[in-house]
Amino acid sequence: MSKKNVIVAQSGGPTVAINASLAGVLDAALRNENYETVYGSVYGILGILEDHLINLNEQVEKNPEFINTLKVSPAMYLGSCRYKLPDYENDDATYEFIFKQFEKYNVGAFFYIGGNDSMDTVLKLSHYGKQIGSDIRVIGIPKTIDNDLCITDHTPGYGSAAKYVASSILEVAHDTFIYSVKSVTIVEIMGRDAGWLTAASALARNEYNSAPHLIYFPEVAFDKEAFIADVKDQLSKRNNVIIAVSEGIRDKEGNYISATTATNDQFGHSQLSGTGKCLEYLIKDSIGVKVRSIELNVLQRCAAHISSLTDLNESFALGSHAVECAVNGQTKCMLTLNRVSDKPYEITIGTADIQGIANEAKSIPREWINEAGNDITDALHDYMAPLIEGEPIVKYNNGLPVYLPVGHLDAGK
Amino acid sequence: MSKKNVIVAQSGGPTVAINASLAGVLDAALRNENYETVYGSVYGILGILEDHLINLNEQVEKNPEFINTLKVSPAMYLGSCRYKLPDYENDDATYEFIFKQFEKYNVGAFFYIGGNDSMDTVLKLSHYGKQIGSDIRVIGIPKTIDNDLCITDHTPGYGSAAKYVASSILEVAHDTFIYSVKSVTIVEIMGRDAGWLTAASALARNEYNSAPHLIYFPEVAFDKEAFIADVKDQLSKRNNVIIAVSEGIRDKEGNYISATTATNDQFGHSQLSGTGKCLEYLIKDSIGVKVRSIELNVLQRCAAHISSLTDLNESFALGSHAVECAVNGQTKCMLTLNRVSDKPYEITIGTADIQGIANEAKSIPREWINEAGNDITDALHDYMAPLIEGEPIVKYNNGLPVYLPVGHLDAGK
């Protein structure tokens, strides 16, 4: 069998672990005798459509630390896109072009690292490939901080984001506990449809820190009166109450708490308030206690200096494993993590048909949230705890973490 | 001379380095033959007024790692207060009580670690002590992330906050550079009256990252039209523009950009928008590009896991030095850092009369901001750069940084 090349791309929202999967693909493909050149497609699938590829072998040759540094660098080295392929029944010109590109670059396998939308691309390309009798392997490697992909036990990127959330809550607790004045602090956490990341706030609890004292999830309808009662109850027990809330909480009619908040600022523009801000003003008005809201924002998905080594190692392993799968002839599949046990933590890597994964989402099972809907259960704690374990070695230069340059900008120089 | 005891307290807003100064005082006092017991006053000066002291010698005996872990723990181990002493001309009962407490605990020296308001307390206690002929030393140890104290070259806590700001900007840049779609990202940074911390965003620049592309300070009057022109100009040069802005920017009439933004949320409450949010909507409306604002919030002052070793070491040294000063008979003074040179970075520790420091604030000199008022100069870069250097060893347990329990809660158990 003559040697083939591979193309790898990244798509969707950034995580701290998505470059670790890229590093895993690159490392395994370079070592594998079936493959020659690894091309990175810039801005996801768009790089193939626009013929914008980076030769990653050259990057490794230039920089012997390339793969190690890539593994700990945040966001996407190759850039991302939010592009959904058209249905091939309606528009097979796009597909025809993509497979012509594969031919042009002598591609044996295409790896797409991403979330739900990216798995849709894997599904469509696999289908089309089968239809035209192509033997190019099309394989998905999951990632999302939201942890909402089906079949896989958890998603690469989630563990690091969870670690960031938990450590931030712990540090905010230290910041909050210093005053004798009663106060409420609301921390708004990402997760539009699933509360996995918000749940991770509970990992901040230790022998001296009981925060967060209340947790609210998109999975449970938000009730304003119950919320106020919860906060009053907590304030009767302690000086400083810390609340973790998902940005995606909704009332029982399904309306986002944040979405109905239309406001006007000084320049006369309409604003949409964040969920945390909304709850801040609700407490201020109904209880009158000192209150502050904090939005953790994009640092949840890009603070690579405090990533989880477990997460990075798993992400890297999925990348390597994807290359093996391609060599073994697998296609139309996504790599999965399967849990063997919580304590000691043990997982295996497998694959699943992409059909049952793309365009599906996984919420927290209701039984992993307490009855009142304002805290997690022990089962959810045991599920999450191992995922934030371990710290990668991050080098510092001039006082700042050393990451790889953003590749498509750097290589374009 | 018979042995005396000391009282130490912390006050004002938290920083990552204020416990390092406490550790320095504790370490030096325990080693010094003139002193016996180190008492920590809980909730700043209030602990003396309410007779709520912690015996820190006992904490060190219980936990041999106490001083080392204290050095890297965020916020205040002893808790804080926002309490301003009354003028002693009007109310000398408070002062009489404090000095009676000093007598009761056989106190030879009182150390107050804090910002501007805390130095006011040092000033008043020194004055009163002199008036009654007390030989108790009253010494201030500076701290504030704002870096706005006079006389000292910089303030403990600033370097760590600056490191957090710079590394966050770098990580946000990675997060932002992944899309081909044009965008503006606004990062709002603490600093109501001085732009020192906002200026630190510029330290994120390196060989591949040119962000932040624009920086706005409280020291320069904010002009809406000039701002829009600046952003348009940047968008003509690059896809993804990142802006660092101080929460305290004001228009030429002196009105805070954030303060005039009164809005109403879904529950009918009036809201005050953040500065970043305000600029976000201004850009959305005037330029129509994709725009996001991020408020770094309290993590700037409590993310101890990414603190500056230079900052922690200096803070510790100031604490130790304060004990020496007390032994040598100094009082009514604040410890200061004096810069010898930028490259190589070298400082000495000194003291200054508290009179010229309390209730004064230090802004960025205008010549350290560029002419257009939207970036720093090289001189400011060289001033800041050494302050974020070095990383302390932070231990992790269960995936999270190991800090000391919040002392007043823990000791109260």
pLDDT tens digits, residue range A180-239? Answer: 899 999 999 999 899 999 999 999 999 999 999 999 999 999 999 999 999 999 999 999
Per-residue pLDDT for A263 more than 70? no
- Band of residue A360 on the pLDDT scale cut at 50, 70, 90: confident
The verdict on a CB contact (< 8 Å) between B43 and A80 is: no
**Yes or no, beta carbons of A399 and B410 under 8 Å apart:** no
B397 burial level (CB within 10 Å; 0-12, 13-18, 19+): exposed
Distance, in Å, from the CA atom of B311 to the CA atom of B153, rounded to the nearest integer, reads 13
> pLDDT of A148-179, one tens digit each?
998 999 999 999 999 999 999 999 999 999 98
Based on the domain organization, do B120 and B97 belong to the same domain?
yes
Nearest-angstrom CA–CA distance, B266 and A281: 10
Name the domain boundary from A282, A302, A322: A302
CB A247 within 8 A of CB A191: yes
Cβ atoms of B64 and B27 closer than 8 Å: no
Taking contacts as CB-CB distances below 8 angstroms, the residues of chain B near A263 are: 263-265, 271, 273
Residue B185 half-sphere exposure toward CB, CA atoms < 13 A: 28
Is B188 inside a domain boundary? yes
Pair A152, A116: CB distance under 8 Å: no
Q: Is A195 helix (H, G, I), strand (E, B) or coil?
A: coil
Answer for the pair B399, A166: CB distance below 8 angstroms, yes or no.
Answer: yes
Residue B298 contacts A where some CB pair is shorter than 8 Å: yes
Three-state DSSP state, A383: helix
CB contact under 8 A, A166 and B399: yes
Same domain, B51 and B149: yes
d(CA B337, CA B359): 18
Within 10 angstroms of residue A128's Cβ, the number of other Cβ atoms is 19
Tokens of A159: 């563990």
What pLDDT is recorded for position A177? 92
Q: Does residue A369 sit within a domain?
A: no
Distance from CA of A159 to the nearest CA of B (A): 10
**Which of A146, A148, A230, A375 does the annotation list as catalytic?**
A146
Domain that holds residue B292: 161-302
Average pLDDT over chain A, rounded to an integer: 93
Q: Tell me, what amino acid is at B73?
A: S
CA distance A297 to chain B (A): 7
pLDDT of residue B9: 98
Cβ-based contacts of B263 with chain A (< 8 Å): 263-265, 271, 273
Pair (A273, A312) in one structural domain: no
In A14-33, the residues whose Cβ lies within 8 Å of chain B are 14
Contact residues, chain A, for B399 at CB < 8 Å: 163, 166, 203, 308, 385, 388-391
Of B143, B123, B97, B63, the C-alpha closest to B318 is B143
Question: What is the per-residue pLDDT for B88?
Answer: 81
Q: Identify the three-state secondary structure at position A167.
A: helix
Reported as a single tens digit per residue, the pLDDT across A296-351 is 999 999 999 999 999 999 999 999 999 999 999 999 999 999 999 999 999 999 99
Chain B residues whose beta carbon lies within 8 Å of the beta carbon of residue A269: 281-282, 284-285
* Per-residue model confidence as pLDDT tens digits over A45-80: 999 999 999 999 999 999 999 999 999 999 999 999
Q: Does some domain include residue B313?
A: yes
Percent of chain B with pLDDT over 90: 85
Q: Give the whole-number percent of chain A exceeding pLDDT 90.
A: 85
B5 bridge partner residues? B107
Angle at CA of residue A94, ends A92 and A97, nearest 5° = 110
C-alpha B336/C-alpha B151 separation (Å) is 7
B340 burial class (0-12, 13-18, 19+ CB within 10 angstroms)? exposed
Q: Taking 90 as the threshold, does the pLDDT of residue B269 lie above it? A: no
Amino acid A112: pLDDT: 98
The phi, psi pair for A5, rounded to 5°, reads -110, 170
Contact B223, B240 (CB under 8 A): no
Q: Choose the final residue of a domain: A302, A327, A348.
A: A302
Which of A145, A163, A241, A263 to probe by mutation at the B interface, max B CB count within 10 Å?
A263
What CATH number corresponds to the domain at position A246? 3.40.50.460
Alpha-carbon distance of B258 to B218, in angstroms, equals 12
* Structural domain contains residue A130: yes
Q: By CB neighbour count within 10 A (0-12 exposed, 13-18 middle, 19+ buried), where does B199 fall?
A: buried
- For chain A, what percent of residues have pLDDT higher than 70? 94
Q: Three-state SS string across chain B, please?
A: CCCEEEEEEECCCCCCCHHHHHHHHHHHHHHCCCEEEEEEECCCCHHHHCCCEEEHHHHHHHCCCHHHHHHHCCCCCCCCCCCCCCCCCCCHHHHHHHHHHHHHCCEEEEEEEECHHHHHHHHHHHHHHHHCCCCCEEEEEECCCCCCCCCCCCCCCHHHHHHHHHHHHHHHHHHHCCCCCCEEEEEEECCCCCCHHHHHHHHHCCCCCCCCCEEECCCCCCCHHHHHHHHHHHHHHCCEEEEEEECCCECCCCCECCCCCEEECCCCCEEECCHHHHHHHHHHHHCCCEEEEEECCCHHHHCHHHCCHHHHHHHHHHHHHHHHHHHCCCCCEEEEEEEEECCCCEEEEEEEEHHHCCCCCCCCCHHHECCCCCCECHHHHHHHHHHHCCCCCCCEECCEECCCCCHHHHCCC
Supply the pLDDT for residue B270: 44
Report which DSSP code applies to A369: B
- Candidates A357, A379, A360, A368; CA nearest to A217 is A368
Reply yes or no on whether the pLDDT at B46 is more than 80.
Answer: yes
> Which residue among the candidates B117, B146, B230, B375 is catalytic per the annotation?
B146
pLDDT at A267: 47
Query: Which of A302, A319, A335 is the last residue before a domain boundary?
Result: A302
Same domain, A401 and A334: yes
| Binding-face residues of B in 359-388 toward A, CB within 8 A | 385, 388
pLDDT class of A116 with cuts at 50, 70, 90: confident
Residue B132 — very low, low, confident or very high, per pLDDT cuts 50/70/90?
Answer: very high
Same domain, A330 and A260: no
**Inter-chain residue contact A284 with B266, CB threshold 8 Å:** no
pLDDT at residue number A34? 97
Residues A125 and A174 occupy one common structural domain? no
How far, in Å, CA of B368 to CA of B385, rounded? 14
3-class DSSP assignment, residue A344: coil
Look at residue B375 and tell me if it is in a domain: no
- CB contact at 8 A, B316 and B210: no
CA–CA dist A405, A411 (Å, integer): 9
CA-CA distance, B290 to A301, in Å (whole number)?
19
Query: In terms of residues, how long is chain B?
Result: 413
Same-domain pairing of B327 and B294: no
Give pLDDT, residue B234.
97
What pLDDT, on the 0 to 100 scale, is given for residue B260? 54
What pLDDT sits at residue A296?
Answer: 94
Element (H, E) at A145: none
- Residue B343 burial (CB count, 10 A): 8
Choice among A133-137, A408-412, B355-359 with the minimum mean pLDDT: A408-412
Nearest to A302 among B174, B203, B396 (CB): B174
Are A90 and A145 members of one domain? yes
Could you tell me if residue A376 is inside a domain? no
Is pLDDT larger for residue B261 or for residue B371? B371
Q: Hey, is A288 helix, strand or coil?
A: coil
User: Domain tally for chain A?
Assistant: 2
A259: left (phi over 0), alpha (psi -120 to 50) or beta: alpha
Average pLDDT over residues B298-320: 97
Same domain, A62 and A16: yes
d(CA B293, CA B244): 10
Instruction: Classify residue A246: in a domain, yes or no.
Output: yes
Where residue B271 falls among pLDDT bands split at 50, 70, 90?
very low
Better-scored residue on pLDDT, B258 or B340: B340
Structure tokens at A358: 């793309």
Interface of B with A in 245-284 (CB under 8 A): 257, 260-267, 269-271, 273, 277-278, 281-282, 284
Give the domain CATH number at B333.
3.40.50.450
Full-model pTM: 0.95
Per-residue pLDDT at A402 exceeds 50: yes
How far does the CA of residue B297 sit from the closest CA of chain A (Å)? 7
CB A266 within 8 A of CB B255: no
A195 class by beta-carbon count within 10 Å (0-12 exposed, 13-18 middle, 19+ buried): buried
Token pair, residue B387, equals: 């302050």
My answer on whether A189 and A148 are in the same domain is: no
Chain A neighbors of B278, CB-CB under 8 A:
265-267
A355: left (phi over 0), alpha (psi -120 to 50) or beta: alpha
Return the DSSP state at A54: E
The one-letter amino acid code at B350 reads G
Which residues, in sequence order, are CB contacts of B15 under 8 Å at separation 6+?
Answer: B75, B143, B144, B145, B156, B157, B158, B160, B161, B301
Q: pLDDT at residue B411 above 50?
A: no
Residue B291 sits in the same domain as residue B400: no
Token pair listed for A332: 């139309």
Contact A248, A221 (CB under 8 A): no
Q: How many residues belong to chain A?
A: 413
User: Does residue B366 form part of some domain?
Assistant: no
Q: How far is B403 from chain A (nearest CA, A)?
A: 9
The answer, for A401 touching chain B at a CB cutoff of 8 Å, is yes
How many C-beta neighbours within 10 Å does residue A308 have? 28
Task: Name the pLDDT band for B1 (thresholds 50, 70, 90).
Answer: low
Residue numbers in B near A298 (CB within 8 A): 172, 175, 292, 294
Has B146 been annotated as catalytic? yes
Confidence of residue B268 (pLDDT cuts 50, 70, 90): very low
8-state DSSP, A396: E
B171 CB within 8 Å of a chain A CB: yes
Task: Report ipTM for this prediction.
Answer: 0.95
Q: Inter-chain contact B174–A208, Cβ cutoff 8 Å?
A: no
Contact: A263, B267; criterion CB under 8 Å = no
Is B306 at the interface with chain A, CB within 8 A? yes
Measured between beta carbons, which residues in chain A are less than 8 angstroms from residue B177? 75, 79, 406, 409
B346 shares its domain with B261:
no
